Structure 1
Amino acid sequence: MKVLLKSKLIEGVDYDESANRLKIFLTNGQRREYCDVPRDVYEGFVDAESPGSYYVRQVRGNFSHNVQHQ
């Protein structure tokens, strides 16, 4: 289920626990899907005061991903 976030960079996130996949929906229309992401990283994203900063620090560059345009 997509969770909407208040961020200039991140529109929302979705997590597939069975596959450990984190989907990030960017405000520019891109969707990024990250593999092998632990649930606590997703939960930290949802709870982050600044989802954009959390993304840069904890996700981008730390997990393999695919970029898809909507």
Structure 2
Amino acid sequence: MFTISIYRPYLSFPYAQVEDLGPEVAVKEIAVNSRIIKKVYFGDDSGLLKLCFKNGKERVFSNVPKRDIDALIKSNSPGKYYIDFIRPRFERVGA
């Protein structure tokens, strides 16, 4: 279990610029088998999703439902699922 503390301006993990989520957001690492995604962190209570990519980039999204995380992890191509269903539908709040 990790926490994302809310600071401004955002820094690298475990900090993210997310002003309306409170002072700390607990997230857990979820295993993923992907050619482009290295690590997935998700907060069940907050809906905060952090993706770390193998190219070194990171993205943080808010209000992501658990069902979308389950679909991402179970997908034959988690990277394609991210591109098709996460990136266009959820607000990017950091990185």
TM over 0.5, shorter chain: yes
Q: CA deviation at 1:64?
A: 0.7
Pick aligned residue for 1:13 from 22, 37, 40? 40
TM-score (normalised: structure 2)? 0.64
**Equivalent position amino acid for 1:25 in 2:** C
The answer to whether residue 68 in structure 2 is matched with residue 41 in structure 1 is yes
Q: RMSD of the TM alignment (CA)?
A: 1.3
| 8 Å CA contact retained: 1:30, 1:67 | no
Pick aligned residue for 2:82 from 55, 66, 70? 55
Give the secondary-structure state (helix, strand or coil) at the position aligned to 2:84.
helix
Return 5+ residue gaps in structure 1 as ranges. none
Return 5+ residue gaps in structure 2 as ranges. 1-27
Higher relative contact order (CA 8 A, sep 6+): 1
- In the alignment, the residues of structure 2 paired with residue 4 and residue 30 of structure 1 have an alpha-carbon distance, to the nearest angstrom, of 18
| 8 Å CA contact retained: 2:48, 2:63 | yes
Give the secondary-structure state (helix, strand or coil) at the position aligned to 2:41.
strand
Q: CA deviation at 1:8?
A: 2.1
| 8 Å CA contact retained: 2:41, 2:51 | yes
- In the alignment, the residues of structure 1 paired with residue 44 and residue 59 of structure 2 have an alpha-carbon distance, to the nearest angstrom, of 16
Q: CA deviation at 1:42?
A: 0.6
Q: How many residues in Structure 1 have an aligned counterpart in Structure 2?
A: 68
Q: CA deviation at 1:45?
A: 0.9
